[in-house]
Amino acid sequence: MDPVLVAHAAGDNCFEISGEFAPASIRDQMVRARLVVDRLIENGLLDNESLSLLVIGAGSTGLTAAIRAASLGVRTVVVSKDKPGFRLRRCLSRDVEPTLYDWPASHWPEARFPWAGETMPLTWEAMVASRIAIDWSNQLRAWRSKLGSLLDIRYSTTVKLAFSPSGSMRDDVEATFNSPTVTYATERFGAVVSCIGWGSESCEAISTPHAQSYRGFDFWDTDQFQGLNCGLSSQPNILISGGGDGALQDLIRILTRKSAAQAFALILDALRGHAGVLAAMTEEIREAEDIARRALSWNLHEKHDAMAFKRLEAAHIRAIAHLQGSAAWPSVDRAIKAMLIPSMPLIHLVHSKPYFAQCYPLNRFIGLLLIAVAAGEIRKPNTRVVRVVGKGHICEGKPRTCHGKAHDVSIRDAAGAITTTTYDVVILRHGLVGPKRFLPGKAVRVRQILPYCVQQ
Ligand SMILES: Cc1cc2nc3c(=O)[nH]c(=O)nc-3n(C[C@H](O)[C@H](O)[C@H](O)COP(=O)(O)OP(=O)(O)OC[C@H]3O[C@@H](n4cnc5c(N)ncnc54)[C@H](O)[C@@H]3O)c2cc1C
Residue % of the chain over a pLDDT of 90 = 74
Measured CA to CA, the distance from residue 409 to residue 390 in angstroms comes to 9
Q: Is the CB of 201 under 6 A from ligand 1?
A: yes
Asked if pLDDT for residue 265 goes beyond 80, the answer is yes
Instruction: Output the average pLDDT for the chain.
Output: 91
pLDDT for 117 equals 46
pLDDT for 433 equals 78
Q: Is the CB of 200 under 6 A from ligand 1?
A: no
Q: Is the CB of 99 under 6 A from ligand 1?
A: no
Choose the residue to mutate in 54, 128, 219 for probing ligand 1, maximizing ligand atoms within 8 Å of C-beta.
219
Asked if pLDDT for residue 305 goes beyond 50, the answer is yes
Choose the residue to mutate in 25, 366, 446 for probing ligand 1, maximizing ligand atoms within 8 Å of C-beta.
25
pLDDT for 456 equals 44
pLDDT for 431 equals 85
Bridge-based pairing of strands 191-194 and 200-201 is: unpaired
Nearest protein CA to atom 16 of ligand 1, as residue = 26
The pLDDT of 262-281, averaged and rounded, is 98
Q: Is the CB of 163 under 6 A from ligand 1?
A: no
Q: Which of 259-273, 369-383, 425-439 has the lowest mean pLDDT?
A: 425-439
Measured CA to CA, the distance from residue 351 to residue 242 in angstroms comes to 5
d(CA 136, ligand 1 centre) in Å: 14
Fold topology of 3-199+435-454:
FAD/NAD(P)-binding domain (3.50.50)
d(CA 394, ligand 1 centre) in Å: 31
d(CA 60, ligand 1 centre) in Å: 8
The pLDDT of 260-267, averaged and rounded, is 97
The pLDDT of 221-244, averaged and rounded, is 96
In tens, the pLDDT along 32-71 reads 999 999 999 999 999 999 999 999 999 999 999 999 999 9
CA distances from 58 to 71, 171, 342 (A): 16, 24, 43
pLDDT band at 119 (very low <50, low <70, confident <90, very high): low
d(CA 197, ligand 1 centre) in Å: 4
d(CA 395, ligand 1 centre) in Å: 27
The pLDDT of 413-426, averaged and rounded, is 97
pLDDT band at 440 (very low <50, low <70, confident <90, very high): confident
Q: Is the CB of 155 under 6 A from ligand 1?
A: no
- Please, which residues have CB within 8 angstroms of residue 286's CB and are 6 or more apart in sequence? 104, 105, 106
Q: Which of 18-22, 29-33, 298-302, 322-326 has the highest mean pLDDT?
A: 322-326
Q: Is the CB of 133 under 6 A from ligand 1?
A: no
In tens, the pLDDT along 62-118 reads 999 999 999 999 999 999 999 999 999 999 999 999 889 989 998 888 766 654 446
List the domain boundaries for the chain: 3-199+435-454, 202-432
Choose the residue to mutate in 82, 122, 252 for probing ligand 1, maximizing ligand atoms within 8 Å of C-beta.
82
Rounded (10°) CA dihedral 361, 26, 28, 150 = -170
Q: Is the CB of 74 under 6 A from ligand 1?
A: no
pLDDT for 206 equals 73
CA distances from 30 to 81, 92, 119, 326, 451 (A): 20, 22, 12, 40, 13
Nearest protein CA to atom 19 of ligand 1, as residue = 26
Q: Is the CB of 87 under 6 A from ligand 1?
A: yes
Higher pLDDT, 208 or 122: 122
Nearest protein CA to atom 39 of ligand 1, as residue = 196
Nearest protein CA to atom 4 of ligand 1, as residue = 246
Q: Which of 2-6, 9-13, 108-112 has the highest mean pLDDT?
A: 2-6
Atom of ligand 1 nearest to the CA of 201: 53
Q: Is the CB of 431 under 6 A from ligand 1?
A: no
Atom of ligand 1 nearest to the CA of 157: 43
pLDDT for 116 equals 46
pLDDT band at 16 (very low <50, low <70, confident <90, very high): very high
Asked if pLDDT for residue 412 goes beyond 70, the answer is yes
Higher pLDDT, 434 or 44: 44
Q: Is the CB of 82 under 6 A from ligand 1?
A: yes
d(CA 452, ligand 1 centre) in Å: 22
d(CA 159, ligand 1 centre) in Å: 19
- Please, which residues have CB within 8 angstroms of residue 82's CB and are 6 or more apart in sequence? 58, 155, 156
